Structure formats: structure tokens, C-alpha cells
Structure 1
Amino acid sequence: MIEFHLAGEFIPLIQLLKATNLVQTGGEAQIVVSDGQVKCNGEVELRKRMKVKKGDIIEFDRKKIIVK
């Protein structure tokens, strides 16, 4: 489990995937989101620019990111 401490109000989903080193590039992040490989709070998330906020739980590649 990865804890990500949010500095502002939100972070776009693809930036969060890059910031936590679960993907190498923004292009890779867009592909995994478009392919339905990412979940937000238990639901498949297809919006690349989805605003991830404190309290959200993101799942990808058998890893969970808790946003605090």
C-alpha cells in the first residue's frame, strides 16, 4: 500500500500514477486508464484527468494508493 500526501486540493489521476512511480510516462498512464486497469474507490475509472482528492483509494497493478 502506498500513501500519497496531497499538497493541494486534488491531483489528476495520470499525474498520481506517475508521481507514485507505478508508470514511467504520462503516455503509459493514459493507456492503463483507457484500458480500464485503474480503479478509484472500487470502481473502474476511465477519465484520465479525473481529480483525485483526499480520502480516495486508487488501485492499479495489484497496488493501492491511499490519498491523504
Structure 2
Amino acid sequence: MAVQLEVRGEFIQLDQVLKVTGLCHSGGFAHSVIEAGEVSVDGVTEKRKRAKLRPGQRVGYAGETIELVAAGGLD
């Protein structure tokens, strides 16, 4: 089951997703795991630290999946 993260505004950066969800303890650590190719977006490895992600996309890291939803979209 995916964890849902509410996106306030048009987008959120990939490094921020990892930090906000607690999967990475710092922005620097998030940058290192992204650069190492350990993070996927919609099933494809993503190496852009500040990739702009929008509601509807899914991030995978360390066996976890984060589903981005629009603000107000959580039940």
C-alpha cells in the first residue's frame, strides 16, 4: 500500500518528498540516494534531485511507495 503525500501548490521537488516523508533524514542524504540511482518516479529511475513532481505521480525508495495527491485530495 502506498503512503499518500498531499502536494500543496503545483509541484514538490523530489528531494523534498524524501525528506518530508521521513525516508531521508536530511536533504543531503536525499541528494546522495537520488544520485546513486536508488529512487524511482513512476517506475523509472530518477537522478534529478530537484525534479518537479505533481499529483498523480508515485515515488519509490527503500521498498516504500509515496503517492502524490492534490491538496484536499486525501480522504
TM-score range, shorter chain: over 0.9
TM-score, structure 2 as length reference: 0.89
> Where does structure 1 lack aligned partners over 5 or more consecutive residues?
none
Query: In terms of Rg, which structure is larger?
Result: 2
- What's the CA shift for 1:62? 0.3
TM-score, structure 1 as length reference: 0.98
SS state at 1:49 partner: coil
- 1:63 equivalent in structure 2: 64
- 2:25 equivalent in structure 1: 24
Q: In the comparison of the two structures, how many residue pairs are matched?
A: 68
Which 4+ residue blocks in structure 1 deviate beyond 3 angstroms? none
- 1:13 equivalent in structure 2: 14
SS state at 1:64 partner: strand
- What's the CA shift for 1:43? 0.2
Opposite residue 21 of structure 2, the aligned amino acid is T
Aligned-pair RMSD on alpha carbons?
Answer: 0.5
Q: What percent of counterpart residues are identical?
A: 35
